Structure 1
């Protein structure tokens, strides 16, 4: 499962817009100079109530929930629970496997980006 950098960037942009409620980011008009360039003052750009850390935590929690659900269904099926079918077990297992693979790929991209940033000359 190979994630291209442009595809990852566009997915991150769409997630950012989704987190902000599809509103463009707020621009601090006072931080823009006379010639249209931003001055040295650093203003808060993202006024949304959620931040990246919260979004990441929610994503990891949802992956964890899928893993728990898959394990519970497997256990129930193995114990002979007639309310859980083999199809449900296989679907839950596939969902949790895909979510875990995507999480690992995202982690790998973050580590790669971190290493690239750390190797940049200052």
Structure 2
């Protein structure tokens, strides 16, 4: 399965910008006092969840259109979009699992 080059480039750019932010580069998620704000992470997480939801909605819509016999929807497109939605959902699930694990680790730390 291949992804479009622009999607891979976009993902690579996002990872590089996050790596630069984590390495101490200037970030809009850090206020003047140096404290991290949740808006950067929260907005990125919300955007990712919205994309996952959009992909799933699109896949279901194409599947229904194919089942109804629409001539402009091919089985290949339906299967590819269903797999994209599945991979996105699995990614979101793994991110959630890591967040819960990190939260539990933090809550178990002794102060």
TM-score in same-fold range (> 0.5): yes
Supply the distance in 2 between the matched residues of 1:13 and 1:84 (Cα, whole angstroms). Answer: 33
Structure-2-length-normalised TM-score: 0.71
The structure with the largest helix share of the pair is: 2
TM-score (normalised: structure 1): 0.65
Q: Deviations over 1:54-106 (max 9, x none)?
A: 11111100000000000000000000001000000000000000000000000
- Tell me which of 68, 84, 88 is aligned to 1:99: 88
**Any idea what SS the aligned residue of 2:71 has?**
coil
1:90 maps onto 2:92 in alignment? no
Alignment correspondent of 1:44:
34
Q: What stretches of structure 2 of length at least 5 have no aligned partner? A: 1-13
What are structure 1's unaligned runs of at least 5 residues? Answer: 1-11, 27-41
Cα 1:15–1:71, aligned 2, differ >3 Å: closer, same or farther? farther
Count of matched residue pairs: 91
Aligned to 2:54: 65
Aligned-residue Cα RMSD (Å) equals 2.7
Are residue 81 (structure 1) and residue 70 (structure 2) matched? yes
